[in-house]
Each structure stands twice: as structure tokens, then as C-alpha cells.
Copies of this chain bind each other. A is one copy, B any other.
Amino acid sequence: ATPGRTGPVAGGGDCVRCFGSPRVLVEPDPAAGFAVMKMRNPPVNSLSLEFLTEMLISLEKLESDKAFHAIIITSDCPGIFSAGLDLKEMCGRDPTHYAEYWKAVQELWLRFYLSHLVVISAINGVSPAGGCLLALSSDYRVLADNPKYAIGLNETLLGIVAPFWFKDTLVNTVGHRVAERALQLGLLFPPAEALRVGMVDQVVPEDQVQSAARSVLAQWLAIPGHARQLTKTLMRKPTADRLLKERDADIQNFVRFISRDAIQKALRTYLEKLKQK
């Protein structure tokens, strides 16, 4: 039995019975059948290799424990859901590291997108690029109604291109035309627009994000689990299979692209600017 299942769970960050890891706080509520997974990789929940690995381990733990049928994923960093991929993992390292990193990014998507658990995103902050991908991998997205909390795959703004499986996930969510324009322009959608185009399913006042996610969850947990999981697979497996079929080629593409001098230089410049802020 996991520690989290041995007793009641507090609501806050100082929950003593919670399991998880330094960067991923898991607040289990096994009686209700779900756990809250709080991302705590300050300042902006960048998806570093270590952080990705901890998220995957936490997800696997919950998936292999029959008490859990769902997770709510949310952020413990004020104002940011996740800033997305960690540019530091892509800058000034060797090809082996880039390959290892990209494999972990793929794994995160594959595991969350296909998880047999219900995954609800309680999006309590901005979620660009990889942060948006994580949200899009959920079954349902609740976004806090704060004009600063924009969401989108804004890769082109940095001069890079979203991988095809980011694109596929977005197309599956908002359709081909909205995705085409959003990806070319690197659009970040504020809440009202995000709701209108279908990037999120619900926008609620900021202090109700967690409770709204819990309410929605009740509806999902009421569905016979086995049938729901098979249906999710039916919908998502063809998209996941596209990556699985060319996973290595996708890694090599990434390594080749990121190793270019022009890209390395652009990333260094960008990281310098971020430091100065």
C-alpha cells in the first residue's frame, strides 16, 4: 500500500501523508478514487528531464494502484501551469543528452495521452508550448478565468516548429483549421477565446478551478471504467501510434534540429534574456 492510502489527506502543500517526489506533490484521495498531482518545479514548472521523470513515476504509481481511477493535474507555482520544455536541457549539451531528453518528452505525452486514468487539467496559470501539450493530453480542461492565463502552442514565436504529434494533438482538440492558424501564428489564447475555439472545456473564476475540476471528475468517475478506457483507446491510439511508429526518427530529427548552430545561438540569446528579467 502506498503511504497516501493510510490516512486522511490535507488540502494544502504541507500534507504529511502525501507521496510523490520533490517536484511532484501527489495528494491522494483513494476513497474518492482520485489523486491531485501538483507540479512544483519553481519558478515556472519547466519540464526538465528530472521533473519529467518524476511526473512519469508518479503517474505510473497511481496507474498501478487499483484505488485510483483519475487524477487532477494542477500547478503549485503561482500564475504558471507549466512553461513547457526546459530550454536548458536543449542548450549546450551533447546529442546523447538531447536524445534522452526528447525520449522523456515523448514518453510524457504518450503516457498522459493514453493513460487509463481519467486525467483532468485544472489549469491555474499560463500554459504555453509544452505546458499546453500537457493540458491537451488530458481528458478535460478547466481554465482559471484570468486574462494572463493564455494557453497555446506558440513554438513558432521562438523560431521553432511544433513536432507533428503536438500538431496532431491540437488538431484532435480544435480541428484542422483552427490548429493551422494557431500553429503558424504561435497563438496564445486568453480564457474566453480558448473556450470559444475548444482549446479548453470550461472557464471558471480563479478560486474555483480546483472545485470545478472535482465536480467534473464526478461525472467521469460515474462511467463504467473498463468501457470508458477502451473508448479512450479507440479515440487516441491511432494518433499515438503515429509517433510510436517513428519514435526513433522523431528523436533523431529533434537532435539534428536542436544541434544546429543557429538554433543553439537563438536559445542562448533567449535564455540570457530570461535571466535578466
Q: Which of A38-46, A73-81, A151-159 contacts B (4 or more CB under 8 A)?
A: A151-159
Q: Which residue from B186, B226, B227 sits with its C-beta under 8 Å from A155?
A: B227
Partner among B139, B158, B184 whose Cβ is within 8 Å of the Cβ of A184? B139
Selected interface stretch from A2-10, A85-93, A170-178, A204-212: A170-178
B219 x A164 contact (CB < 8 A)? no
Determine whether A12 belongs to the interface, using a CB cutoff of 8 Å to chain B: no
Q: A157-B224, A226-B159 are in contact. Are A231 and B176 (CB under 8 A)?
A: no
Separation in Å of the A275 CB from the closest CB of chain B?
22
Tally of chain A residues near chain B (CB < 8 A) = 41
Interface residues of A (CB under 8 A from B): 139-140, 155-162, 164, 167, 171-177, 179-181, 183-186, 198, 201, 219-220, 223-224, 226-228, 230-232, 234-236
| A contacts with B: majority SS | helix
Residues from chain B with Cβ under 8 Å of A179 in the complex: 235
Q: Are A234 and B164 in contact (CB under 8 A)?
A: yes
Q: Is the CB of A161 within 8 A of B219?
A: no
CB A49 to nearest CB in B, in angstroms, measures 24
Is A156 a contact of B227 with CB atoms below 8 Å? yes
